[in-house]
A = this chain, B = another copy of it.
Amino acid sequence: MEQYSRKMKVKVLDIESGKLISLLNEIDAKELGILPLERVQITNPKTGHKINTVADKTDTVVEENEIGLFEDVARLLEVKDGATVEVQASDKPKSVQFIKKKMNKGKLKESEIKEIVEDLSSNKLSEVEATAFVSAVYINGFELDEIISMTKALVENGNTLVLDVSPVLDKHSIGGTNGRSTMIIVPIIASAGYYIPKTSSRSITSSAGTADAMEVLAPVTLSMEKIKQVVEQTGGCIVWGGAVNLAPADDKIIKIEHPLSLDPEGQVIASVMAKKVSVGSKHVVIDIPIGPDVKIKTKERAEEMALKFLEVGKKFGINVEVMLTNGAEPSGSAFGPALEARHVMEILEGKHFDNLAKKSCELAGALLEMSGSTEPGKGHDKAKEILESGTALEKMREIIKAQGGKIFSSSAVKMAPFMKEIKSRANGRIYKINVRHCITIARIAGAPGDKKAGLLLKVKDGTKVKPEQPLFEIYAENKRKLELAEQFARSVDVIELDKTILQRIS
């Protein structure tokens, strides 16, 4: 239905809000019939370009007959300060009714999910509406059909990577903690002659994401063209997914999930699979760590999720295998971007073959088996062979170079200047290393923002320790952060010793 409209003068506000918001004077809002959180449609009369924004009200920032636009909105509309625009009340996007349907426990059709994803991608939904959607999906869940529709919609509303080479292999870990298996798997797979264009995230709640750790060695914010070039040349890449807009709607959903620590299973599956479809993957291995401190706590939940991954994969012609892995103990001894990157380089250089290296070879091995490169059961050994031969290290150096990086060895990775060693106060055998505490200490010390900050374990499960034996080191960019991290470390049990041994009188 047609709406009453008004000519108004633009006042550009020097803020980038990232949201489609405009500011109206209380009097104009009343006259146009705009209530809190309702929308106005703003038209640039010179171009006919229209944009819908949520209208906030003010009686200080804009005068009567003025409309306040944040810089990003003014840019989208191609208007400058002082320009005249047409303003009118505007209806909610149609997708709001589909969000309501999901809140009412309804099952969403493909077209409805598509509409929601489009509106999320183009910023048409307000924060309230987007949050209601995420909450409804978390509470009421998605059926398999809906996961498939969501995957499809995310792919259609994002960029895709079209490689002139094949086959494309990929891996994904669901909510692990530390240890960057990706940085070991990618060079192994690329060494075996396959293509693995890996996009990774930055850390949200941990001490480093794969993108943060890789960034210690090489730039990870690459354009789609550059990624294509790197992968076609070297076979692999390890880049930050946030830079290439594979699924912009998903980025918005994750931004809402994080403060509430939500992980709606259906959304997680769609989000992962959409990214695999977008880069043209043929064989994908999904790693689901299970443990008390990781996202998935029980084997039952992991199995249920695994079956859905297989189903969705089938729908999109992707060969998926899921590996349930042990998330109860830390993957490697490093927490923090530089420490984790150095640890990975040490593994590639053949300096350790620890549980992170083993897990990486298992996952890479599964991919090699799936692609037919090796016989079933021989994948791990083949991957280990590639790793131990030094071929994977050479490949990693090629990838670092192709991405524009300059750090090619573990010894070239520098740590933060302030370090504190935490020592054992008793005799005993290590009974449990608390991964969450390790992460918290690394974060207080400054990781992942300070790339060279973090925590390095000097012991592992089962190790016998004596008083004054170093348990772990904390690295920080300044004294204050180091002190705070140390204070926290001393206030909790980061490392628990076996109790029976502690009781013994010596």
Once bound together, how far apart are the Cα atoms of A71 and B58, in whole Å? Answer: 12
A61 close to B16 (CB less than 8 A): yes
Q: Are A15 and B13 in contact (CB under 8 A)?
A: yes
Question: B131–A128 contact, CB under 8 A?
Answer: yes
A-B contact pairs, 30 of them (CB 8 A): A1-B488, A1-B491, A2-B484, A4-B480, A4-B481, A4-B484, A14-B60, A16-B58, A31-B446, A31-B450, A33-B446, A36-B258, A37-B256, A37-B259, A100-B262, A103-B138, A103-B262, A105-B139, A127-B131, A128-B256, A128-B259, A128-B260, A129-B259, A131-B131, A131-B132, A132-B135, A132-B262, A135-B135, A135-B136, A139-B140
A92 at the interface (CB under 8 A from B): yes
Shortest distance in angstroms between A128's beta carbon and chain B's nearest beta carbon?
Answer: 5
Q: Which of B2, B103, B446 contacts A488 (CB 8 A)?
A: B2
Residue total for A at the interface (Cβ-Cβ under 8 A): 63
Copies per assembly: 2
Report Cα–Cα, A136/B484, bound state, in Å. 37
Segment 30-75 of A: residues with Cβ below 8 Å from B: 30-33, 35-38, 56, 58-61, 71
Decide: B450 and A100 in contact? CB cutoff 8 A. no
Given contacts A2-B488, A4-B481, A488-B2, contact A260 B33 (CB under 8 A): no
At the interface, yes or no: A359 with Cβ under 8 Å from chain B?
no
Q: Give which listed residue, B23, B261, B487, contacts A100 with CB less than 8 A.
A: B261
Question: What B residues does A17 contact at CB under 8 A?
Answer: 56
**What is the chain B residue whose CB lies nearest that of A256?**
B128
| A397 CB, min distance to chain B CBs, angstroms | 28
> Contacts A1-B488, A16-B59 given; 10 further ones with Cβ under 8 A?
A1-B444, A2-B487, A16-B61, A100-B260, A127-B127, A127-B131, A128-B131, A132-B134, A135-B135, A135-B136
**Bound state CA distance, A13 and B23, in angstroms?**
14
Q: Which residues of B contact A135 (CB under 8 A)?
A: 103, 131-132, 135-136, 139
Query: Chain B residues near A258 (CB, 8 Å)?
Result: 35-37
- Is A96 close to B, CB under 8 A? yes
Name, among A92, A99, A105, A449, the residue most crowded by chain B CB atoms within 10 Å (CB to CB). A449
Least Cβ distance of A296 to chain B in Å? Answer: 16
